[in-house]
Chain A
Amino acid sequence: MSYPSEGALRRAIAFVAALGVAVATYIAIEAAGGDAPTCLAGSSGCATVAKSSYSHVAGVNIAVFGIVGYALLLASAFFANDLARFGGFLVALGGFGYSVFLTYIELFKIEAICQWCVASAVLMTILFLLNATRLVAYAGNEAGPVAERA
């Protein structure tokens, strides 16, 4: 099986993670100002989600955790070693899992959809796939894909 080059994967991870930092920062800034992110088409879902009890963990807005997670993923894209590959995979896995949980909460508990949260969930899903591909293709390998070498 052929994989994209690690350089291409790292560039893609850096780009998507940068978008994630921007989205999470926007949500965090709006929340810090006592507002909710503005939903498109006048939907009130963002306000409902942002003001729900699920928007904070231990008193900290989850968007702040999002910023940290995306920043770590962005940082992992700058290094081509196993620590970056495995670390990036773990962070993306955690972010993806939490996104699944939050999407469940939005759909079945809060019964409101925040478009910014969906955007973040999509970005985290992409990052999980990219980091999983990177780990599977390049773990333990400094020179190139194991599959390609074999």
Chain B
Amino acid sequence: MSGTDRRTQLLQLAAGAVFLAVAVVLVLIVVNGSSSGDGGDAKLEGVSEVNRKLAGIPQQGMVLGDPKAPVEVVEYADLQCPYCKAFTEETLPPIIEKQVKNGEVKVAFHNFTIIGEQSLPAGAAALAAGAQGRGWNFVELFYKNQGAENSGYANDAFLEAIAKGAGVKDLDKWNADRAKFTAEVKETSAEAQELGFKGTPSVAIRGPKTNGLEPIGTPSSTGDLEKAIEEAS
């Protein structure tokens, strides 16, 4: 084969390889892109981010922060609720970063199921994760992978994937515990209604200057929540 023939053949092969590479990259991007929003994919979003964010912060049940913190912020939320996701991902982080980490405030997650029938098992699954010290990891990871309301994404496989990603160590125990916590989800939902809450997320606060657990509604910003904490302190 002459040099020119070999050159032509090599360049044709190279062109084919470029075409193939472009196709493979596009397929990879499309496959990964399509699995990002449905929330049901086993490859979860934000696992390391959530676990890193919460690393080192004490958790007892669904309470994040030092159990002896003088002020307790109680969030009543539905895991399927997009506003609850926004509250947890946008309003709460500065509070967690400062007042929770330095032991001034603790934040409790209480289920208030209003969205749909999957909210109840999802809430119970979070509490079962909380029994193993991974409740907030579960909640935040759930939000990171939240799908459209009532689209059916929050099935058992999704909940188990979230539990795994959240770092729940004993999955058999978590599975066994889930049913037990259904009653507690119903209790906290009733508690939210007793406090006069109609939607999620709703917040109540307890501190040295409050009269027990006082409802404050839905803080519209971190500043609003900081102000409520200051008044309760």
The interface of chain A, by Cβ under 8 A from chain B, is 44, 47-48, 51-53, 82, 85-86, 89-90, 93-94, 96-98, 100-101, 104-105, 108-109, 112, 132, 135-136, 139-142, 146
Contacts and interface: CB of A to CB of B under 8 A. Distances in A.
22 contacts: A44-B52, A51-B48, A51-B52, A52-B47, A52-B48, A53-B47, A82-B10, A85-B10, A90-B17, A93-B17, A93-B21, A94-B21, A101-B29, A112-B49, A132-B14, A135-B10, A139-B10, A139-B14, A140-B2, A140-B6, A141-B3, A146-B4
A109 B45 contact: yes
Contacts of B52: 44, 47-48, 51
B13 A86 contact: yes
Given A47-B52, A140-B5, A86 B14 contact: yes
Given A51-B48, A53-B47, A86 B10 contact: yes
B36 interface: yes
Given A93-B17, A97-B24, A109-B32, A140 B47 contact: no
Nearest to A53: B43
B11 A100 contact: no
Contacts of B5: 140
B213 interface: no
Give the 5 A-B CB pairs with smallest separation, nearest first.
Answer: A140-B7, A51-B48, A140-B6, A97-B21, A140-B3
B116 to A, nearest CB: 27
Contacts of A97: 21-22, 24-25
Nearest to A99: B25
A54 B17 CA distance: 24
Interface residues of B, number: 30
B25 A139 contact: no
Interface string B19-55: 0011011001100110010000001110111001000
Interface of B: 2-11, 13-14, 17-18, 21-22, 24-25, 28-29, 32-33, 36, 43-45, 47-49, 52
A135 B25 contact: no
Nearest to A93: B21
Nearest to B45: A109
Contacts of B13: 86
Contacts of A52: 47-48
Contacts of B43: 53
B36 A142 contact: no
Contacts of A139: 6-7, 10-11, 14
B21 A140 contact: no
A140 B2 CA distance: 8
Contacts of B45: 109
A100 B25 contact: yes
A89 B15 CA distance: 11
Contact of B28 (A86, A90, A101, A112): A101
A99 to B, nearest CB: 10
Nearest to B8: A140
B32 to A, nearest CB: 6
B36 A109 contact: yes
A12 B17 CA distance: 23
A142 B3 contact: yes
Contacts of B48: 47-48, 51-53
Contacts of A86: 10, 13-14
B47 A101 contact: no
A124 B44 CA distance: 28
Contacts of B25: 97-98, 100-101
